Amino acid sequence: MESIPKIPVAQWVSDATELTTETFGFLFDFIKNDFGDFIEIVAEDWLMGIPVWLFIAIVGVLAFFVSGKKFGLTAFSVIGLWFIHNQELWEELMNTFTLVVFASLICVIAGIPLGIWMSKNRTVEKIFTPVLDFMQTMPAFVYLIPAVAFFSIGMVPGVFASVIFATPPTVRFTNLGIRQVSHELIEASDSFGTTGVQKLFKVQLPMAKKTIMAGINQTVMLALSMVVIASMIGAKGLGQTVITGLQRAEVGTGFVAGLGIVILAIIIDRFTQNLNTQRGEQ
């Protein structure tokens, strides 16, 4: 055992990262600059441009209709958002919200097609299952290192690290949802002469919708959980306030910012869950 020298895995990974950075530097720069600017415009010019009272009102009205005309979610959303504003964390909230939305969108756009591919092809499923396991179990902090190497610091590496960490549930649930569609319904579809695409869009995806939405809900929650971690590499938002509290040993500051994250998490979770209804269900 002792005769085998230490395998320089760490060195290999570092080299690979460096090589990637050099090779795709132009692409990373483009993403860092243009995409980064776009995120900032959305967060600072658009979202923060909306008066706070109007923003809260809009969320309140949406909550009312999304929850099926009940007042619980509406009241919680309005009071929760007002509280965050009251604690002077509105800008941080908007930054966090933007980061979560962008990360989740990218996860969904990449994750659903990948999930569909896995459901259609057993080999692809076999290859990607361990990759997804890896992505989800690797400590999230580790993703910060290449993120910084590629995109230096700021919102963009934050989104990058969140995407890697948060994509797996969408992929898995899409795959699962499609595979769970009953054999008889697939036969029924085939017996009427559907093409692969028709079967996918008319039968499999609508039938899998509920499962896929559950996956998206998980993805959004995971993206939100990356907020604090991503703030360590300069992603703006509520996470930064938590880190500040940690560094200065201010329990109160950290707690209030943490509470803000919890409120945001609950609102997003309930919204995505309430949107998850299947047609024809009793």
Partner 1 sequence: MPVIQVENLSKIFGKNAKKATKYLDEGQTKEEILEKTGNTVGVNRASFDVEEGEIFVIMGLSGSGKSTLVRLINRLIEPTEGSVLIDGEDLAKMDSRSLREVRRQKLSMVFQKFGLFPHRTVLENTEFGLEVQGIDKSERKKKAEESLELVGLGGYIHQFPGQLSGGMQQRVGLARALANDPEVLLMDEAFSALDPLIRKEMQDELLDLQETMKKTILFITHDLDEALRIGDRIALMKDGRIVQIGTPEEILVNPANEYVEKFVEDVDRSKVLTAENIMKRPETVDVEKHGPRSALERMRKEGLSTIYVTDSRRNLHGYVTADDVSEAARQDVKDLKGILRTDVPQIQGSTPMQEIFDIIHDAPVPVAVIDEGKLKGIIVRGAVIAALAGNEVNLHGIDS
Does residue 11 bind partner 1 (CB under 8 A)?
no
185 binding partner 1? (CB under 8 A):
yes
Cα–Cα distance, 159 to 270 (Å, whole number): 23
User: What is the nearest approach in angstroms of partner 1 to the Cβ of residue 197?
Assistant: 11
Name which of 31 and 205 has its Cβ closer to partner 1.
205
Q: Considering only residues 11, 33, 121, 198, which one is a binding residue for partner 1 as defined by CB under 8 A? A: 198
Give the shortest CB-182-to-partner 1 separation in angstroms: 8
User: Distances from the Cα of 220 to the Cαs of 132, 165, 170, in angstroms?
Assistant: 16, 11, 9
Nearer to partner 1, 181 or 227 (CB): 181
**C-alpha 152: how far from its chain's center?**
20
> Minimum distance between the CB of residue 30 and partner 1, rounded to whole angstroms?
41
CB 191 to partner 1: min, Å: 4
Choose the stretch contacting partner 1; rule: CB under 8 A; options: 85-93, 121-129, 203-211, 258-266: 203-211
Task: Indicate whether 122 belongs to the interface with partner 1 (CB under 8 A).
Answer: no
Query: Binder to partner 1 among 188, 246, 251, 275 (CB under 8 A)?
Result: 188
Binding residues with partner 1: total (CB under 8 A): 21
The C-alpha atoms of residue 225 and residue 140 are separated, in whole angstroms, by 10
CB of 204 to partner 1, least distance (A): 11
Residue 197 as a binder of partner 1 (CB under 8 A): the answer is no
| 281 touches partner 1 (CB under 8 A) | yes
- Tell me which amino acid residue 190 is: D
By the 10 Å C-beta count (0-12 exposed, 13-18 middle, 19+ buried), 257 is classed as buried
Q: Tokens 């361990």 map to which residue?
A: 130
Q: Is 206 in the site for partner 1 (CB under 8 A)?
A: yes
Smallest distance, partner 1 to C-beta of residue 105, A: 25
Nearer to partner 1, 53 or 192 (CB): 192
Tell me how far apart the alpha carbons of residues 220 and 217 are, in angstroms, rounded to a whole number: 5
Q: Of the ranges 7-15, 163-171, 183-191, 262-270, which one interacts with partner 1 (CB under 8 A)? A: 183-191
Residue 141 touches partner 1, criterion: CB under 8 A: no
Site for partner 1, rule CB under 8 A: 184-185, 187-188, 190-195, 198, 202-203, 206-207, 209, 278-282
